[in-house]
C-alpha cells in the first residue's frame, strides 16, 4: 500500500516544536522578525509572500513587509536591503524571487547580511552548507530532509536521484544528502535538462526528488517498485476550474503512486515544509543574533 506523505501534518509537528524556542527567546526579550520584500506583481509571488506572512503571524514571528514597484531602479531594492540589514528588529530577510529582469538577482542575494539570510542563498551560507557547517539550510531542501526523516526513509547508502540543479532546490538538496551526517550519507545523482536517459537514472533510484518545474515529467514507467518519490514541482497548467488553472507537480501522481512506496502529493507535500523551515531559520537567526541558545 503506497503511503501518501502528509506534508501539512509533518509541518505542523515541526512548527509545534518551534513554540518553546519562541518562549525562550521571549524570556530573553527577543521577538523574531522576518522582513519580506516583494518587487513583483506576479500573482504566484504575491500568494507565496502572503502565505509566509500568515505563517509568521500564526506562530508569533513579527512579519515586516516591504513592496517595491517592479519598475523601480535596482538601487531602490539595494537601499531597502541595506536598511533591513541595519534594523535590529529584523532578524531575517527574504527577497521573493523571481525579480524583474533589470535587477541582478545574484547581486541582491549577496547584498543581504549573511546573518539574516534565512533563505540560505548568500555565497557564505552556500559555502558553509557545502563544507558541512551549515548556518541556514535552504528551506525547501531542508524541509525535504525533515520529511524523509519523519517518514523514516533511510538515506544512508541510498541511491537518490535529484532532478534539477537550481541553486534554490536541486544543488542544495544534493549537497545536504551527500553530507556525512545522519540525514545524509546518500549516493546522489543530479540530473538536469542535458541528462541522457533520465528514466534510466530514476529507475535505479531508491529515492527520487523531482525539482524540474516541468509538469508531470516523471511517470510511473520511470520508477522502480518501492521508490520514495518527493515531488517539489509546483506548476500551473490550464484547466477547466474557477481560476482557469490547476497545480500539478513534476510527477504524474496516479501512475507514480502505483510504483512508489511513498509519495508526496501536490499540493500538500513539500510546500508546507518550505514555509515551516523559513520560520525555523528566522528563529535560528534571531537566536544567533540575540546570542540565546534555542537548540536549533
Ligand atoms: P529552475 O527552473 O530554476 O530549475 C529547474 C531545473 O530542472 C534545472 O536545473 C533544469 O535543468 C532542470 N530540468 C528542466 N527540464 C528538465 C528535464 N526535462 N529533465 C531533467 N531536468 C530538467 O526551478 P526551481 O529549482 O526553482 O524549481 C523547480 C520546481 O520546484 C518548480 O516547479 C518550482 O515551482 C518548484 N518549487 C517548489 C517549492 C515548494 O516549496 N514546493 C519551492 C521552490 C520551487 P538545466 O539546469 O539544464 O536548465
Same domain, 86 and 169: no
Calpha distance 209→202 (Å, rounded): 9
Calpha distance 140→162 (Å, rounded): 13
Asked, for residue 289, whether it belongs to a domain, the answer is no
Asked, for residue 64, whether it belongs to a domain, the answer is yes
Cβ partners under 8 Å of residue 241, min gap 6: none
Same domain, 144 and 57: no
Structural domain boundaries, residue 238: 139-272
pLDDT score at 158: 98
Same domain, 106 and 188: no
Residue that terminates a domain, selected from 100, 128, 156: 128
Choosing from 42, 96, 213 the residue with most ligand 1 atoms within 8 A of its CB, the one to mutate for a pocket test is: 213
Per DSSP, 98 falls in state: P
Number of folded domains that form the chain: 2
Number of Cβ within a 10 Å radius of residue 71: 10
Choosing from 51, 164, 230 the residue with most ligand 1 atoms within 8 A of its CB, the one to mutate for a pocket test is: 164
User: 165: annotated binding-site residue?
Assistant: yes
Residue that terminates a domain, selected from 103, 128, 153: 128
Which of 113, 117, 119, 250 is flagged as catalytic?
A: 119
Asked, for residue 3, whether it belongs to a domain, the answer is no
Nearest CA to ligand 1 atom 18: 193
Same domain, 200 and 267: yes
CA of residue 169 to ligand 1 center, whole Å: 8
Number of Cβ within a 10 Å radius of residue 288: 17
Alpha carbon 202 to chain centroid distance? 22
Same domain, 113 and 172: no
* Distance between first and last Cα of the chain: 35
Same domain, 120 and 145: no
The grid coordinates listed for 217 are 515529467
Asked, for residue 189, whether it belongs to a domain, the answer is yes
Asked, for residue 117, whether it belongs to a domain, the answer is yes
Per DSSP, 251 falls in state: B
Same domain, 143 and 268: yes
ipTM over 0.85: yes
Task: Read off the CATH number of the domain in which 168 is found.
Answer: 3.40.50.720
Same domain, 122 and 179: no
Residue pair 228/264 in contact (Cβ under 8 Å)? The answer is: no
pLDDT score at 49: 98
Residue pair 114/124 in contact (Cβ under 8 Å)? The answer is: yes
pLDDT in tens, the chain (296 residues): 899 999 999 999 999 999 999 999 999 999 999 999 999 999 999 999 999 999 999 999 999 999 999 999 999 999 999 999 999 999 999 999 999 999 999 999 999 999 999 999 999 999 999 999 999 999 999 999 999 999 999 999 999 999 999 999 999 999 999 999 999 999 999 999 999 999 999 999 999 999 999 999 999 999 999 999 999 999 999 999 999 999 999 999 999 999 999 999 999 999 999 999 999 999 999 999 999 999 99
Q: Which long-range contacts (CB under 8 A, 24 or more apart) does 291-295 make?
A: 292/24, 292/25, 292/28, 292/30, 293/24, 294/20, 294/21, 294/24, 294/25, 295/21
Atom of ligand 1 nearest to the CA of 194: 47
- 119 part of the active site: yes
Asked, for residue 280, whether it belongs to a domain, the answer is no
Same domain, 148 and 182: yes
- 17 part of the active site: no
- Give me the residues paired with residue 229 across strands: 208, 263
Same domain, 119 and 156: no
**Which residues surround ligand 1 with Cβ inside 6 Å?**
140, 163-166, 168-170, 191-195, 198, 211-214, 217, 232-235, 270-271, 274
Residue that terminates a domain, selected from 96, 128, 160: 128
Tell me the C-alpha to C-alpha distance, in Å, between residue 247 and each of 148, 153, 178.
23, 26, 30
Task: Read off the CATH number of the domain in which 33 is found.
Answer: 3.40.50.10860
Residue pair 125/117 in contact (Cβ under 8 Å)? The answer is: yes
Same domain, 148 and 192: yes
CA of residue 10 to ligand 1 center, whole Å: 23
In the chain, what are the helix, strand and coil shares in percent, each to the nearest 5? 45, 15, 40
Asked, for residue 185, whether it belongs to a domain, the answer is yes
User: 166: annotated binding-site residue?
Assistant: yes
Same domain, 66 and 165: no
Asked, for residue 48, whether it belongs to a domain, the answer is yes
Amino acid at each position: 500500500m503506497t503511503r501518501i506523505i502528509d506534508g501539512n501534518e509533518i509541518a505542523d509537528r515541526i512548527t509545534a516544536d518551534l513554540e518553546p524556542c519562541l518562549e525562550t527567546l521571549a524570556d530573553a526579550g527577543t521577538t523574531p522578525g522576518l522582513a519580506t520584500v516583494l518587487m513583483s506583481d506576479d500573482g504566484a509571488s504575491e500568494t507565496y509572500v502572503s502565505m509566509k506572512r500568515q505563517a509568521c503571524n500564526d506562530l508569533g514571528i513579527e512579519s515586516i513587509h516591504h513592496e517595491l514597484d517592479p519598475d523601480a531602479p535596482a538601487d531602490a531594492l539595494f537601499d531597502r536591503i541595506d536598511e533591513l540589514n541595519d534594523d535590529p528588529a529584523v532578524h531575517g530577510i527574504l527577497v521573493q524571487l523571481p525579480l524583474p529582469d533589470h535587477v541582478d538577482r545574484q547581486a541582491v542575494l549577496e547584498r543581504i547580511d549573511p546573518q539574516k539570510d534565512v533563505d540560505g542563498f548568500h555565497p557564505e551560507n552556500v559555502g558553509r552548507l557545502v563544507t558541512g557547517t551549515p548556518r541556514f539550510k535552504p528551506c525547501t531542501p531542508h524541509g525535504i530532509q525533515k520529511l524523509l526523516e519523519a517518514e523514516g526513509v533511510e538515506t544512508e547508502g541510498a541511491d537518490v536521484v535529484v532532478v534539477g540543479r537550481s541553486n534554490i532546490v536541486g544543488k542544495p538538496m544534493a549537497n545536504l544528502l551527500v553530507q556525512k551526517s545522519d540525514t545524509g550519507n546518500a549516493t546522489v545523482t543530479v540530473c538536469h535538462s542535458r541528462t541522457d536517459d533520465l528514466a534510466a537514472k530514476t529507475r535505479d533510484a531508491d529515492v527520487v526528488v523531482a525539482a524540474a518545474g516541468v509538469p508531470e515529467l516523471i511517470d510511473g514507467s520511470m520508477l522502480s517498485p518501492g521508490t520514495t518519490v518527493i515531488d517539489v514541482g509546483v506548476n500551473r497548467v490550464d484547466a477547466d476550474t474557477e481560476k482557469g488553472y490547476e497545480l500539478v507537480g513534476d510527477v504524474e501522481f496516479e501512475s507514480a503512486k502505483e510504483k512508489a512506496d511513498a509519495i508526496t502529493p501536490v499540493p500538500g507535500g513539500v510546500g508546507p515544509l518550505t514555509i515551516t523551515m523559513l520560520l525555523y531559520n528566522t528563529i535560528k537567526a534571531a537566536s544567533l543574533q540575540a546570542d540565546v541558545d534555542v537548540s536549533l
